[in-house]
Structure 1
Amino acid sequence: MAYWSGGPSGWSNNNARNAKHANDWVDYYAEIYNWKLITRFFPFIKKHKKRMYLTILAMIISTLSAYIQPFLIGNGVEIITNANKTIIERTKQIDITAVALLITTVITIGAQSFQRYNIGYIGQNILLDLRKSLFAHFNKLSMSFFDKNETGKLVSRATSDVVVLQELMTSGFLNGFGDLFGLIITIIFLFLLDPLLAFVIIATIPILIIIMIFWQKFAAKAFIRVRQAIAIVNGTINDNLSGTKVIQSLNRQEKNLNDFKIVNKRNELENLSAVKFQAAIIPIIEFLSALTTIITLSIIAIRTSNGSLSLPEALGLATAFTLYIQRFFNPIRDIVLQYTQLQRAMAGAHRVFEILDTKPTIYEKNNAKPLLKPSSNILFKDVYFEYEKNLPVLSNINLEIKQGESIALIGPTGSGKTTIISLLSRLYDVSEGCIFINNQDIRDIKIDSLRNNIGLVFQDPFLFSGTVYENISFGKKNTSEQEIMSILESIGGSSFINNLPHGVYSEIAERGQNLSAGERQLISIARALLRNPAILVLDEATANIDQVSEKMIQDAIKIALKGRTSIVIAHRISTIELADRIVIINKGSIEQIDSHQELLKTKNIYSDLYKILHSQ
């Protein structure tokens, strides 16, 4: 089995291909810092700029007050150990130092509390705005986009990726800024205390940079392989949950469990590999921190022994520098510990803005006009279409449908029938040629006006979780219960509604699983008719219903088609016979157009189908 893991490439059990994909992921997602991507968030942050400025100010105050404490503590140690001053003098100075420490502690706590509350507020609002932007953009994107992208991946981008970005732009961004500001404050205080010792500590920076560059080069691939591995695990779980019925019917439980053990074990090994890198770098940083402390204390001891420092001064410097060395290395530790979060955030930013930057292929012209009424003549003129370049699906489609006429499209699976109706409602645009409604090129018609005048009933009706009322009124606001019942009665659907516990306000389970196929289709037909469309399109509306429900749906279709221009895609003769003319589509082209009776007089796809069904 092959498992997809997202990113610029897929994934399979082919090791050579997987190695290539790992490198692709490194090139695409290995960044832990990308200023261009970060600036894309500024419009979202700008709405909260006053609060953000106050939060940054609180962070500066809390960092400053926290980082001044080692200086005060070192000064306090020097005062306590200074025998040249009286106890009263030392007590008075220690009291001042203690009050200063208390004040800085209170300021730190207050500023940090204010900072954390505002980080949470800004973060949740950024999360809200990002998801709203993504949701709105999803609704604008064309069907071709959804054809090429898996639903699970898109849901992941709107949920987990956005959460990671929110964490980056709030706690991650401010913590990083706080660490940098704290590092600057530390260096300033180190130079104020003793420039020579300060240079000793700063000398470790080039060493740290070289180590981090070397470490990041190898760690990036390790952490990305971890994300690949967990993506494979998640994909495997998703496939198994979605296909439970098939798995159990084929008795594949044990085989699938063994497959899962393999990918889960791989996930464990990749995580252990990443842990090794993290485990290797932390001791190196701790070693440098300890070595710097030893060198600093040794220099202080030498200077004390040669008389250049008094004992109180030496003890004060030793205390302050020991504390500041810990503060100096803290940001480096944070970068290592937050490395995977930063990497995930940058990868998430790539993925989120990749969607937001995607332009719809179906767009409305600035001078588009509403669809003219009441006429609804349809003309397909020299229409060609291809989903992928150089792979034609429709060729030279010429078809005129007069107002009030019903046309049935028949042909083998994959012949292009559904594509024709998708082009009519502009879910896709023609590659060549034109489609006219009332002598208007549909590309010159306002999209909402076009689609409001076309009612679509699909083979597998999609029902949303909610009530029957909410599903039928989905495409029309402020619909009354009376309108709903009137539509249902007109197509013979009121009886089953009356048998539901709460009528039209009865709850529908996910995808309508608590209703029969026929009942779901009746709701779908009612939803399409509620807007009273001039054109009605039925795409295999009777394909998935049983014989008991068929007559109910056929009666509903007869009523729905009456007086409307309609296109029906069907394989059932009983549905095809309702049409005025039948169009035979084969390999993307029109082979023949005629009435039911005329087509039976010659040998063709329809007459062959008719004979087969009536011979049974």
Structure 2
Amino acid sequence: MVRNNRKGKQKETNKHLNRFHYTVDQAIEKPFNWEQMARMLQYLKPYSKRLLPAAIIAMLISTLVRLAVPILIGKVAIDIALENKDVPLLIQLVVGIGLLYLFSYVGNVFRIKWVNILGQNVIYDLRKHLFSHVQRLSHRFFDSRSAGSILVRIMNDINSLQELFTNGIINLLMDIVTLLGIIIILFVLSPKLALAIMVILPIMFYISTKLRRSIRRSWQDVRIQQSRLNSHLNESIQGIRITQSFSQEKENTAFFDGVNTDNYESWRNATKKSAMFRPFVEMSNAIGTAILISYGAILIIQGPSNGGIEVGTFVSFAFFLGMFWEPISRLGQMYNQLLMAMAASERIFEFLDEEPNVDEKKNAKKLDSIKGHIEFDHVQFAYDEKRIALHDINLEMKQGQTVALVGHTGSGKTTIANLISRFYDPTKGAVKIDGHDLRDVKIDSIRQQISVVLQDTFIFSGTIMENIRFGRPDASDEEVMEAAKVVGADDFIQRLSEGYQTEVEERGNVLSAGERQLLSFARALLADPRILILDEATASIDTETEMKIQHALKRLLKGRTAIIIAHRLSTIREADHIFVLENGRILEQGNHDELMEQQGEYFDLVKTQFQMLDAI
């Protein structure tokens, strides 16, 4: 009934899904192969000298004890001690078996301890590697993927590997050793009875092979649906104010219900298929037991002299048969776990195989100190083949100049700023700083000398002091406070309950938009950059606060190259040089007075702004 209700809801909410478009992860159609598994196991290499061998030795000890006990009970205790009524031998066996189990217990304790330490270390290394790799990927990578999708890879997909590395690998080895040991022992004890019992194995192998591809694709679908769910959750939480302001809570809930239902259905389908394996194992166990009892009884009646078996051998077979299906059942579960791990690892390695679009040459030069002379030499840039953002741009920004970029939305202002920071590389031409093509320079050496302040600034969870110090981690408290004073942030910080030690939540929601922007100014200026980029940085600040910042910037921008992207006339009229952009081309350039005299596009922009102010 629940299933039908959910399907009904899904039909009702499909129309909501069509209203939105977001990038989702696609299933990776690759065959199950051991090369991928070998790559995953490479993360065990740092621990292959101590932890892994110790865990394997502990596993072998407990496994050998388990294999030895049924032989001691069947062949020694029953066929020798009880047959000959040898009580001292029987007592010795009881004591010996007890000591063996104690030895096995100690081995299991250390095995569990070591494999958990091993697994947690591997998961730590893998998550660190993936996060570090994602950190250095280019902006193009993040342009086509939601934050929720990336979060799923780093958290959920790596968590899916946790069970594999903590218990799965050692348990797999233990079950394989146990199975091989049992098979060898059974054929040594009685080849006839062993063959009779093993007749069921080909059927099990055939069924498991048929299920393999279907189960694997089901778990891939689970990962895709989880990615969609996380993406929507991340988007919904970040956009909750917009949702509530437009009274779209019901609409958003309906959309979530559709995504959540897809996630539920994918899990239900995957677990249903995975659960099919265990009943087959239990059925095989029942068939094997029936064969043992019926054919074993016949062999006992025949007796050893006529090619039959002794009672002790039958008892050992009964013990081993019970032990035989247990590892097979666990191997079935392990196989499902392995399929989940492979589906997750494919997605993890897809990210790890992603190369930055903005890559660093092996022989790239390190620029310890730049002057700030910027040049665009016939630069063309396109985000994709159909959308060219810049057309053959030639411009020069001299050292220490304050340059303004103005134009309508989509004219290419932010693109120019992104190319200067080398978040992207030009499609054609070259961007140069101090005469060096940025593609020939170490990325960090350039970015460490450039500060960027955006309109939508990001405040990290932590203290005010930590957020400002993000621009230069080695800065002293006094330097942090001085930067805040210069941009006029110190006044509001001192009014907070804990001052500079006040904790702010993610994105600084406890602060106003203007206060967050002031913190971003302080952060950028603390870094003491040679090039400062202000991308609509004063858009969220009131006029009075902007006047304070303008006064501070006159002192702080001296000797630095500053690129200002803004619509407010008050922000750009003092610039040394202004570039007017339209559809990725430079229409006009000059200072404010020169451009006003031309009465061109810039003149129209200024006139329009004044008309809007007069209307207010």
Q: Deviations over 1:503-558 (max 9, x none)?
A: 33332322122222222222211222223222221110112233453333333333
Which of 466, 487, 493 is 1:491 aligned to? 487
Alignment of 1:266-285 (within 5 A): 266-285=262-281
* Equivalent position SS for 1:25: coil
| 1:183 and 2:182 matched | no
Q: Deviations over 1:179-205 (max 9, x none)?
A: 111101111221232121112222222
Q: Deviations over 1:220-265 (max 9, x none)?
A: 3444444444544444444433333233333333344344444444
Alignment of 1:208-223 (within 5 A): 208-223=204-219
Report the CA distance between 1:131 and its aligned residue: 2.2
Match of 2:201 in 1: 205
Alpha-carbon distance in structure 2 between the residues aligned to 1:446 and 1:264? 45
Alpha-carbon distance in structure 2 between the residues aligned to 1:421 and 1:557? 19
Alpha-carbon distance in structure 1 between the residues aligned to 2:251 and 2:93? 70
Alpha-carbon distance in structure 1 between the residues aligned to 2:241 and 2:488? 34
Which of 553, 556, 559 is 2:549 aligned to? 553
Alpha-carbon distance in structure 2 between the residues aligned to 1:442 and 1:222? 46
Structure 1 residues 76, 13: closer, same or farther in 2, change over 3 A? farther
| 1:542 and 2:565 matched | no
Alpha-carbon distance in structure 1 between the residues aligned to 2:236 and 2:475? 41
Q: Deviations over 1:475-518 (max 9, x none)?
A: 32421222223223333333223223333333232212222222
Match of 2:39 in 1: 40
Query: TM-score scaled to structure 2, two decimals?
Result: 0.88
Match of 2:347 in 1: 351
Contact 1:79–1:93 at 8 Å: present in 2 too? no
Alpha-carbon distance in structure 1 between the residues aligned to 2:484 and 2:280? 74
Report the CA distance between 1:397 and its aligned residue: 0.5
Alpha-carbon distance in structure 1 between the residues aligned to 2:262 and 2:484? 55
* Equivalent position SS for 2:161: helix
Match of 2:510 in 1: 514
| 1:571 and 2:574 matched | no
Alignment of 1:372-391 (within 5 A): 375-389=371-385, 391=387
Structure 1 residues 237, 603: closer, same or farther in 2, change over 3 A? same
Alpha-carbon distance in structure 2 between the residues aligned to 1:418 and 1:490? 26
Q: Deviations over 1:543-580 (max 9, x none)?
A: 22334533333333334333422111001111121212
Aligned amino acid, residue 514 of structure 2: G
Contact 2:215–2:339 at 8 Å: present in 1 too? no
Match of 2:3 in 1: none
| 1:101 and 2:97 matched | yes
Alpha-carbon distance in structure 2 between the residues aligned to 1:263 and 1:445? 45
Query: TM-score scaled to structure 1, two decimals?
Result: 0.88
Contact 1:372–1:438 at 8 Å: present in 2 too? no
| Greater shift in the superposed pair: 43-52 or 424-433 | 43-52
Gap runs ≥5 in structure 2: 1-14
Structure 1 residues 512, 553: closer, same or farther in 2, change over 3 A? farther
Alpha-carbon distance in structure 2 between the residues aligned to 1:105 and 1:372? 66
* Equivalent position SS for 1:607: helix
Alpha-carbon distance in structure 2 between the residues aligned to 1:226 and 1:451? 39
Alpha-carbon distance in structure 2 between the residues aligned to 1:343 and 1:251? 43
Alpha-carbon distance in structure 1 between the residues aligned to 2:186 and 2:369? 81
Aligned amino acid, residue 326 of structure 1: G
Alpha-carbon distance in structure 2 between the residues aligned to 1:174 and 1:540? 57
Alpha-carbon distance in structure 1 between the residues aligned to 2:72 and 2:369? 83
| Greater shift in the superposed pair: 372-381 or 287-296 | 372-381
Report the CA distance between 1:593 and its aligned residue: 0.8
Contact 2:411–2:583 at 8 Å: present in 1 too? yes
Structure 1 residues 379, 139: closer, same or farther in 2, change over 3 A? same
Aligned amino acid, residue 474 of structure 1: F
Match of 2:27 in 1: 25
| 1:527 and 2:523 matched | yes
Alpha-carbon distance in structure 1 between the residues aligned to 2:328 and 2:372? 70
Report the CA distance between 1:62 and its aligned residue: 1.0
Aligned amino acid, residue 27 of structure 1: E
| 1:155 and 2:151 matched | yes
Alpha-carbon distance in structure 2 between the residues aligned to 1:389 and 1:593? 28
Which of 585, 591, 601 is 1:605 aligned to? 601
Alpha-carbon distance in structure 1 between the residues aligned to 2:47 and 2:601? 65
Aligned amino acid, residue 588 of structure 2: Q
Match of 1:52 in 2: 52
Match of 1:68 in 2: 68
Root-mean-square deviation (CA, aligned residues, Å) is 2.9
Q: Identical aligned pairs, as a percentage?
A: 38
Structure 1 residues 261, 440: closer, same or farther in 2, change over 3 A? closer
| Greater shift in the superposed pair: 565-574 or 237-246 | 237-246
* Equivalent position SS for 2:372: coil
